């Protein structure tokens, strides 16, 4: 379990990866759509996505010729349980967490319109 927690917290430590998670709150996204708002290469985005996938925070699957990413919010459950063990943290409310991520990253990460699908 320690390795899993390490992976989750390491993945969450990077602002680009947190922004990606915020983007995926809305819906599944093609890798190219995930990369669009960032001023880094597609290869760099792919590395971020690999880290998020290894941590279990997202899953990726191929639909036709396009690779898609999906948020896996249950991956935060172990981290939430671990933090609750300290007694000073409230249980993580995933809806509140989604609102927080949307407020923090919703507009600033330049999320593509939901109407434009690949």
User: What is the per-residue pLDDT across 35-49, written as a single tens digit (0 to 9) for each?
Assistant: 999 999 999 999 999
53 pLDDT higher than 80 = yes
Q: Which domains does the chain have, with CATH numbers?
A: 2-105 (1.10.10.10)
Contact 75, 8 (CB under 8 A): yes
Residue 84: pLDDT band (50, 70, 90) is confident
State the pLDDT at residue 66: 93
CA distance 19 to 102: 9
Average pLDDT of span 54-58: 95
pTM, two decimal places: 0.70
91 exposed, middle or buried (CB, 10 Å; 0-12, 13-18, 19+)?
exposed
**Which has more pLDDT, 80 or 66?**
66
């Amino acid at each position: 379990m320690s390795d899993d927690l390490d992976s989750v917290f390491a993945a969450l430590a990077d602002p680009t990866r947190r922004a990606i998670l915020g983007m995926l709150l809305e819906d599944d996204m093609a890798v190219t759509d995930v990369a669009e708002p960032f001023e880094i290469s597609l290869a760099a985005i792919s590395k971020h996505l690999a880290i998020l996938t290894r941590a279990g925070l997202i899953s990726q699957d191929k639909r036709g010729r396009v690779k898609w990413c999906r948020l896996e919010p249950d991956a935060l459950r172990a981290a939430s349980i671990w933090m609750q063990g300290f007694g000073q943290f409230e249980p993580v409310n995933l809806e509140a967490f989604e609102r927080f991520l949307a407020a923090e990253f919703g507009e600033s990460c330049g999320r593509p319109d939901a109407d434009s699908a690949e």
